[in-house]
Amino acid sequence: MEGTELRNYDLLLWHGLVVVQEINLFVHYCLLAMPGVRAAEVRRVISHPMALAHCGRALARLVMDCEPVEDTAGAMEMLRSNRMLDTAAIASPRTADLYGLDALAHGLQDESWNVTRFLLLSRPSPPPAALPMDADAKTSMVVAHHGGSMMVLLKVLSSFSSRNINLTKLEVINNEGTAADGSGARPPMMILDTSARGAPTLRAFPHVLYVDCEGAAHNPCVREAIKEIEKFAMFVRVLGCYAANSTVYDLQ
């Protein structure tokens, strides 16, 4: 649908956390308002930008002003604490019970198959238990460099394909050049380098590849691919190794 929430990469790469689990969830959206408020009284909708994007067609039909906020929980809190009677928020059905709000509409998502993949993060110490060698696993990593973006991409793909390793996700992030709104150069991606001795340091890179591949990081083929990439990339960081899970959970 709306693709990757790129800001999550910023947050993940700024910190030294590791990915330990993936969870796929059906995401259902409702239009929530203060008790007693009718749909005809609502003039504005607030929610996380991704939630607003997932409900774009429904919101266009409702003809309401849309205002992005930091997160859906913050939207609920803003609505409740300020008793905003002309404003509704988009969130899950469970949120209505948690915040004592009325659901004015259900199933606002544009696509019925609205699935979002979430990653569970943990501190690196103590390290997560190693997965069995033959386990159905994934490894997430980031490859950063300063130039030659296309050449680095081709080399990364070759490192995996030559060992028959499937990629389940590949995100190319180029932050070099002029911003889309013409406001100037986009800032480089900041990545926490935890490999050096002493305190971890933030390093800036204009070109970043985010890669998910099949196989555990300690699998010989995956390990060889990573070592090969380290020879030509400016920076490589394994973000985590975890059990692959294709199950989609419905928490409605």
Write down the pLDDT at residue 32: 94
State residue 243 phi and psi, 5-degree precision: -70, 135
Neighbours of 233 (CB within 10 A): 20
Co-location of 155 and 240 in the same domain: yes
Out of 1-15, 98-112, 114-128, the most confident range is 98-112
**What whole-number distance in Å separates Cα of residue 132 and Cα of residue 129?**
9
Map residue 232 onto helix, strand or coil. helix
Q: Is the pLDDT of residue 96 over 90?
A: no
- Is residue 130 located within the same domain as residue 102? no
- Please check whether residue 169 lies inside any domain of the structure: yes
Could you read off the pLDDT of 167-203 as tens digits, one per residue? Answer: 999 999 887 654 445 555 668 888 888 886 778 889 9
Write out pLDDT tens, residues 74-91.
888 889 899 999 999 999
Number of other CB atoms surrounding residue 234 within 10 Å = 14
pTM metric for this prediction = 0.80
The average pLDDT across 213-229 equals 96
pLDDT at 150: 87
C-alpha distances (whole Å) from 225 to each of 104, 158, 216, 238 are 52, 9, 12, 12
Q: How many domains does the chain have?
A: 2
> For residue 16, what are its two tokens?
């030294």
Give the CATH number for residue 102: 3.40.190.10
Whether residues 139 and 239 fall in one domain = yes
- Name the domain boundary from 113, 148, 174: 113
Same domain? For 216 and 98 the reply is no
The candidate with the shortest Cα–Cα distance to 242, out of 118, 78, 148, is 118
Decide: helix, strand or coil at residue 74.
helix
Tokens 């890669």 -> residue: 211
Determine the structural domain holding residue 204 and report its residue range: 6-24+116-249
Domain boundary pick from 68, 88, 113:
113
